[in-house]
Structure 1
Amino acid sequence: MNFDLDKDNSLIDISVLPNDIFTPRYSNGLSYLIKLLQQKLKEELALKENNEIQHKYISNEFIDKHPSFKSLIKWYQQNDSDDNNKSNRFLTMFIDNLVFNLAPSSNHYRYSESIKKFAICVYVLGGKQRYEFVRLNMSGSIPVLPTVLDLINKSDMTLTEAEFRFNSLQQFQSGFGFCSEGTTGVIPKVEYDSSTNSFIGFTTPTIDGISLMKHYDADTFDDFKTIYNTNETAPLLNIHMFQSISTEDDPTNFPKPILLSAYGVDNKFTALDILRLWIYFFERCLDKDVRIIGFSTGADNKYVSAMHLANPVHIVTKWRNRLLSPTTDLYIGNVKISMPHIEQLINNNSYTKLDHGLKKSDINPKDRQNYNSCIKLISDGVINLLNDKNDLSFPIHHKRKHESSLPSSHQLDDIDTLDIQKLISNAYDQALRLVKHSKILDKLNEHKINCLNDLKNNTSEEFGLDEENDDNDVAVNYAPNQLIDEIPFDPQNDGVSGDDGKKFNGGEEYRILPFINNIDRIGKMIDANDNILYCMCMEKLDGEAKQRFTTSDSSSKTFERLKERKQKPDETVTSYYDAIIKLFYKYDASMSQRMIISWLENGIKNSLKIQIKRQMKSLSESARTTQTFFKIAKDEQKLQDENVPELQATAPYVPYFANAISTTTYASSTLRTPIYINVQVNNKQHQAIVDTGSAVTIINQQFSKKDLSHGLRLQEEITQIS
């Protein structure tokens, strides 16, 4: 209570009797009351002053009573530094906002802009139930739900189904980014969108892969009923995200991804639809001055098919060219891929081409389309040699990681009787699966070795094994007299079940001659022909041996095709030249120009062969290239294709070959032409051309189509006979 003494003294003047007689008793009591009030006022002022002092200084007892307050003070002291202040900026604002809202009532809660954005994120990511759970248990931390919904409606974050928000890309200044696309399963549900006056939740229709917005709008209930009965609800939700690439080195200032679009799908779209949609994204982003440098998707086969835009051969050659480029580097993660170790492997005299199969042309970056060199660089022989070096590392596929941990099956000291029996049993099972679908089964039944016991006895007699030795017995679960064709076929175990130890991989512990002898013995037992033996050898080849055989076999087939390749009568020079060059690059890309030219000359048509050889011999050694051959051959072909008057036959002409029995005709015209004759040699009729020595060949077009395959060779033979 506050008292004013001047006003209090006026009470004495008022408190008098009507006759202006103030009794002493009232006067003493009132004076005593005033003194008490004045004393009480002094005590309250002193107490108030003490409380203010206590508010300014927190006592140790108070801090000990509230240990969490003590920790909070220490955290604020540590947060005063610049580094911690940046990292804990939001946490500081969250605690300040929460503490400020503890004292006032709930009607006077206030929130900063950062807390409002945080509340929107909690609602979007967690949903309505989780948001309310956090708000009720942390009073004053986040605003009520109507406030959050109002903030969302007022912001530019409202997303309409199947709407592509390309205008949001303008906030990024870098101009580069990645697009990602993913599909997730959702609970099918149809809802009404009041903002667009349409229904959402149905499968969104697409045109050329682009989804249509506001497609399911209905003005009446009958319209909605028709839409609901004729369209299925979407079981999947497809979303498109965009991630901008930062041009700054600050990792804390990384741009956030944005949601471009979301709509319901039914997984009936095709790879072509995906490709068209990506092209649409790329073009629209370019309109906003944003360059998409890649798309990221899941492992769905439709997305993978859409990514196969380039030939796999070209993709591998691009990797190889990047690897061999002197100006660019190829990385996998942070690990750099380089080529010096390959060059050292080729230049190392300790290894030969049989060990790694490489040559210097395989790492020649000028040869851009040498796909065979890519296969050689990743062959098992190269990788096995490089694995011995400690400074190199190779990624191992997860399906092959267990192979290195398996014990070696070639350690004979650790093999006991049970292991041998198991190997024989597995071999027998595999043999059954091999002969189940072949004609070998008839041979086995014919020789009465169609059950295991008979097969064992036959094998013992063939190889001279001791039948009385118990170690030769094989414990299997088949009946003694059970026929092979009566044994059930197991489709799950139809392949080679982990029997890699019996295969020939060309290692040091293997020898070629015993391997061939074993195959030959088995072939004799079953009376197999060469084709079956070849298939058996191919089945047993593995690893480096199989790689070498495949490479050698492919080269042999290419060489055979090269020997048989001749220019056809109606084939152009360009087609023949391209075919020979491609075969040479496939067989050996390092083949010399001289060898290729010799092969081209031998295979070209006889009507062009002499003239081309004559012109090629007149050139210097350095000028004799495949390009020069191609130019000369085209010129000669062009001369032959010109319209030349046909040759007219004349009277018979007696040849000058004395010892040759022949019927000769001489054809002449106004033009100077070669002389051709019909000659019988070794009881066979042939055509021969007598060289006139002319530098320019003039041959009738009809005459050039005749078969002159033996004429050039017979000229020398006839001369010798004469």
Structure 2
Amino acid sequence: MNIFELNELTDDMMNLCDDDFYNFLENLLNKDLCQLFQVQAIQDMSSLSSITIEQIIEILTVDVIDLNNLKKSLGFITTDGKFHLRLGHRNLLERLLILVKSKNNLSVKNFDLSNKNIKNQIYEKLLEMWKQTSSSSKVACIPVLFPWINNIFQNLEKTKNRYRYDDQIQEFALLIFIFGGRNCYEFLHLNLPSALPHITNLEILIRTQEFKMIECEFRFSLLTEYSRSTNCNYIFVAEDATRCISCIDYDAQSNSFIGLSAPLVNGLPQFNFFQTENFQILKNWFDEIDTSRFINLHMAKSLKLSSPPFILCAYGSNNKFEAIDVLKNWLFIYNQSLIQGLRVIGFSTDGDSRYLRAMGLCSRFFAELPNLNLFKHNDPFDIKIPKEWSWFFMKQQQTFLFMQDPIHIATKIRNRLLSTVANLRMGDFSVDIKDLIDLVESKSKLEHNLIKSDLNPKDRQNFASCLRESP
């Protein structure tokens, strides 16, 4: 086989290694050059793509006694001790390396072309699916998968610092961050290269779009946007507090300290109250002011069933307030909502006695505040109570409606029912956990639909159990 008559190496030739590789070189070149490859421990054809002739013959420039015969066969040694490769052998090696590198470049080119064809096929399939979806629905309803894949391919052609993301992809990434949390988002970002923006970009997006909440701030301007999105100006407001772990932190954006219980003025927590550059004032706060042991949350909900709730305000609290603070807080929310063109229908809370007292005062239930006019806006409700409801006491005109959280009430009834130290009275009868245990053990599940985990008193927030235990 003459190497100069060979135009291209085949794939089988490129995959040769060990003895097959040496036998091929002996036939293609000559025995002496094959021995040189063996001396250099070059064992496969593909490795020649990154090797030069000087690297191959470098061993012959060193004074090695065992290679004297090979040196005489392949070249000449001058009087100054330098080795010179015979021109014919050099031409053979150059031709071999050219063929190997040419084949390697062709393989890379074919690989890139194949990737491009696959990419074009994906684009065509994506475009076809997009057209089918667009013809059957509105453009706004197109699944995020299509623009997401398209965005990924565009980013793969760029360096990391030039990645770009459409508005729809940024909103999708923001939802992943909100629902999944920081750890979940970072895990997806690491394992889906170029698919999701960096988490610092999301934090900037949150700040620019006012998604970040500031403690004690009532977001009435965003509440107006929320009502527009739901196309309903009537809202119901709920309020509750949950215990939290006390922790004081510094917020650089608002230049204030978070975690201290903000004082109430007319029932309202003071916005950005803990801002100071005086160390002594800061020390007095730490020594004298309570840390927040509860998070108080105000939620607004449009009367449309399909609309999501909206966080109106959140702040830390020491749970030290009175019924009049609650009432003033509600009136503030009511009046500010009217300014925004919204009508608060009512308020919902748990069974705290201070909330119940505020409800009684506002609904004039056996009590009324003489210095507080609830009807100055002339927009009260007229409630028609049936005449036969002699047992139902309520004023006909009401500014608000009130409701205790039904899930909260149902959960409390369940916890009382499952208590081992208390009985739940129903008329002249009492019921406790023993009655439910007897029911589960003596009757079929088809009759009561209960399972043993429903009777676990430690699971105090199991609302699904409440539904099964209710008659």
Q: TM-score, normalised by structure 2?
A: 0.49
Q: Which has the bigger relative contact order, CA under 8 A and spacing at least 6?
A: 2
TM-score scaled by length of structure 1: 0.33
User: Is the radius of gyration larger for structure 1 or structure 2?
Assistant: 1
